[in-house]
Chain A
Amino acid sequence: MQGVVTVLFLGPLSDLAGTASRGVPAPLDWQGLLEAVGPAVAQQLTQERVNVACAGTVLADKTALNAQAGDEVALLPPVSGG
């Protein structure tokens, strides 16, 4: 049985995605992520100011994403502060 990667849409990205999270078949790389999230979110993801975390760590190079079954991938738009 194939496992699942949970993709979380944080902040305003949840409005763009129309959901807070989505399950995607594992494994998941950068290209797979762009295809899985839909064009509106994918367009945001390609901007430098949007970060990606995998399994609790912000990726220095998000295009090197290599998420495995059970991992949580969080899409992090620019923060709006405290």
Chain B
Amino acid sequence: MKDVRLLSEPFVPEHLNVPFAKANAGLGGVCTFVGQVRGGEGTEALELSHYEPLTLPGMNDLADAALARFDLMGLLMAHRVGSMLPGDPIVCVSAAARHRRAAIEAVDYCMDHLKSAAWFWKRELGKDGEWRWIEPRRDDYADLARWAQS
């Protein structure tokens, strides 16, 4: 099963990934990654913007690519947009498979692509009250390039 969501309101990852795991009866393993807004680095708030006609279709294409590439039973991919505070979940990716490696690698693959190839723009509010756009990092592109080689 494939479950891809764009969420404009705060969410509790367990409310998505627990039912997801239950829905994949007979799985051998489930791997879940939850990303949240980092605190303690001078960030007061984070705002994620997207472009409706591209962002969700792009996430669906990514999920299809992961399902085709790895031997999965199911894939859950949920991503926030809008304003968030430190500690808020931003993203939850969960993969269910008969064997662990497919689940672990699929989550890694989806996260690398969400970080550097999905249509999201991020800006953060500093403690000085100024909003700053976050530029892509070189590491993100290097992470993505790993998947082109194999």
Contact = CB atoms under 8 A, between A and B. Distances in A.
Contacts of A10: 49, 51, 121
Nearest to A55: B53
A80 B120 contact: yes
B120 A81 contact: yes
Contact of B116 (A53, A74, A79): A79
B54 A11 contact: no
Interface residues of A, number: 17
B121 A82 contact: no
B79 A12 contact: no
Interface in A47-82: 53, 56, 58, 72, 74, 76-82
Given A82-B90, A82-B114, A76 B134 contact: no
The 4 A-B residue pairs whose C-beta atoms are closest, nearest first, are A11-B121, A81-B115, A56-B53, A82-B114
Contacts of B111: 82
A79 B133 contact: no
Q: Interface residue tally of chain B, by bracket?
A: 20 to 34
B54 A53 contact: yes
Contact of B120 (A15, A72, A82): A82
Interface in B27-49: 35, 48-49
A5 interface: no
A11 B122 CA distance: 7
Contact of B121 (A58, A72, A77): A77
Given A10-B49, A12-B123, A74-B51, 19 more contacts: A10-B51, A11-B121, A12-B121, A12-B133, A53-B53, A56-B54, A74-B53, A76-B54, A77-B121, A79-B117, A79-B118, A79-B121, A80-B134, A80-B135, A80-B136, A81-B116, A81-B136, A82-B79, A82-B111
Interface of A: 8, 10-12, 15, 53, 56, 58, 72, 74, 76-82
B72 interface: no
Q: Which of A12, A72, A79 is most buried by chain B, counting CB atoms within 10 A of its CB?
A: A79
B149 to A, nearest CB: 20
A19 B71 CA distance: 45
B140 interface: yes
Interface string B55-78: 000000000000000000000000
